[in-house]
A and B are shown apart, each in its own frame.
Chain A
């Protein structure tokens, strides 16, 4: 393993478990412990825990924080209630996607409110630079509108606990009632475990799997003890550790976009199906004017889901054909452990995007039939959450 790669507080644990470690955005991360399909299936049927400490966590506080974020993110921020979380984009001046993020509004143990913006590991430096460019010292220090920006990424670990049994696993370790926490809500929490050394954390009902579940942030120094406590608590319920390989198949089944695949600076939010994350009236953020123009024009292409008729798996970059003509390109593909079929997401011309339409994917020189499916490929029973 490349010794220059960054390590999460769980690095030694992953290696001791025999996980296959890979370079993920400059971090040494476990891609799988046993089998991607097993880890995927455990998440759908029971519960699994994933180390996502490589994600960037950026904290904003001070009286000017809300307005600063409202003028940075595509989604409304100023009207968020404490405990609320929203999915948002960061766009450049041309409306291209710099990153997709979650913004959450919390308060600390002294009652001081703050925002946390969770960014992709691969985009952390780019977004930090973008923030500094839009938050020069004179902007950050305007009396009465101060903004304090801190990069917490190396100070906090973050775990995703995902699956229908995630409440059962986590509840004994938390002083808040998880069962009634709503989706896309979060809160500061006391950890009821001696290993927490009376420290708190932040828990949110969010995830990247399409399953019910939570994401938990704790200080790096207590992270191994809390991870171990969750593993012990979860074992009788079928909990397994889950690597980034299954995290990818899970998010693909859930139809969730991934930066570098369905999202990039060349892709506009509307064609990616993320118009809901763009609030174009109100605060002026970079790219807003461009997006107002783009919104008036017809879509150039549309993000779609594809299901293959055969067994070969489409991969990123493979051409999508309609009547022998290329109409688009695959952005992500995998074998779906739930549907037991190869699935993919990609962008196609609008006339090729209707559900049920028969397309072909050029799989290394052989065009094989596929049809367009409405996303997501998989949806959990959401009667409860």
Chain B
């Protein structure tokens, strides 16, 4: 099920983040790329994601999104450890032998999520939906 974009927090670098209580009192963060960023990229050809277990630092690259025209870094919005990676963005479709990025373009707040992180420390300054939307409108 897709998350409501209005309920999410955003980074200035276009990642969205959804925080929930995880096991053992630690928070779990689900991270994705905003619809605005996906629309701006178009023609996705590759998503580079970290392996499960990798330690992430707030504001440091966690992966990259590559389109025909350009590559963009993805930044971790929190300190933490990767506990899950969206396999749909990594594993090629057995029929076409290439990864289908439709989940990312069609459902960026649901099946197009990137990683789940067990939050161990601080988080970057996050924007609410309205503030993020305003930032995007200024970029248009």
Contacts and interface: CB of A to CB of B under 8 A. Distances in A.
Interface of A: 31-32, 35-37, 245, 249, 311-313, 315, 334-335, 337, 340, 342, 364
A340 B98 contact: yes
Interface in B35-93: 42-43, 45-46, 48, 66, 68-71
A335 B68 CA distance: 5
A311 B45 contact: yes
B98 A36 contact: no
Nearest to B66: A313
A36 B71 contact: no
Contacts of B68: 36-37, 245, 249, 313, 334-335, 337
A377 B46 CA distance: 20
Q: Say whether chain B's binding surface is mostly helix, strand, loop, or mixed.
A: loop
Given A245-B69, A340-B98, A313 B42 contact: no
B46 A311 contact: yes
Most chain B Cβ neighbours within 10 Å, of A32, A35, A313: A313
Given A36-B68, A245-B68, A313-B71, A335 B45 contact: yes
B42, B45, B71, B99: residue with the most chain A Cβ atoms closer than 10 Å: B45
B100 to A, nearest CB: 12
A37 B66 contact: no
Contact of A36 (B43, B46, B66): B43
B43 A313 contact: no
B45 A36 contact: no
B86 to A, nearest CB: 16
Contacts of B99: 311
A364 B70 CA distance: 13
B48 A312 contact: yes
Contacts of B45: 311, 313, 335, 342
A342 B67 CA distance: 11
Contacts of A35: 42-43
A337 B69 CA distance: 12
Number of contact residues on B: which range applies? 10 to 19
Question: Which of B43, B46, B69, B98 has the most C-beta atoms of chain A within 10 angstroms of its own C-beta?
Answer: B43
17 contacts: A31-B69, A36-B43, A37-B68, A245-B68, A249-B68, A311-B46, A311-B99, A312-B48, A312-B66, A315-B70, A334-B69, A335-B43, A335-B45, A335-B66, A335-B68, A340-B98, A364-B71
Contacts of B42: 32, 35-36
A36 B48 contact: no
A31 B40 CA distance: 12
Nearest to A363: B71
B120 to A, nearest CB: 25
A311 B89 CA distance: 12
A335 B43 CA distance: 10
B6 to A, nearest CB: 26
Given A35-B42, A245-B68, A315-B70, 19 more contacts: A31-B69, A36-B42, A36-B68, A36-B69, A245-B69, A249-B68, A311-B45, A311-B46, A311-B99, A312-B71, A313-B45, A313-B68, A335-B43, A335-B45, A335-B46, A335-B66, A335-B68, A340-B98, A342-B45
Contacts of B66: 311-313, 335
Contacts of A311: 45-46, 66, 99
A138 to B, nearest CB: 49
A52 B48 CA distance: 35
Nearest to A38: B43
A315 B98 CA distance: 21
A311 B68 CA distance: 11
Contacts of A245: 68-69
Nearest to A34: B42
What 6 pairs between A and B have smallest CB-CB spacing?
Answer: A335-B45, A311-B46, A36-B43, A36-B68, A335-B68, A37-B43
B117 to A, nearest CB: 22
Contacts of B70: 315
A36 B43 CA distance: 7
A244 to B, nearest CB: 10
Contacts of A313: 45-46, 66, 68, 71
B128 to A, nearest CB: 28
Which one of B45, B68, B69, B98 has the highest number of Cβ atoms from chain A below 10 Å of its Cβ? B68
B45 to A, nearest CB: 4
Contacts of A315: 70-71
Nearest to B92: A311
B13 to A, nearest CB: 17
Contacts of B48: 312
Contacts of A334: 68-69
Task: Determine which residue in A32, A249, A335 has the highest number of CB atoms from chain B within 10 A of its CB, and name it.
Answer: A335
Nearest to B97: A340
A312 B45 CA distance: 8
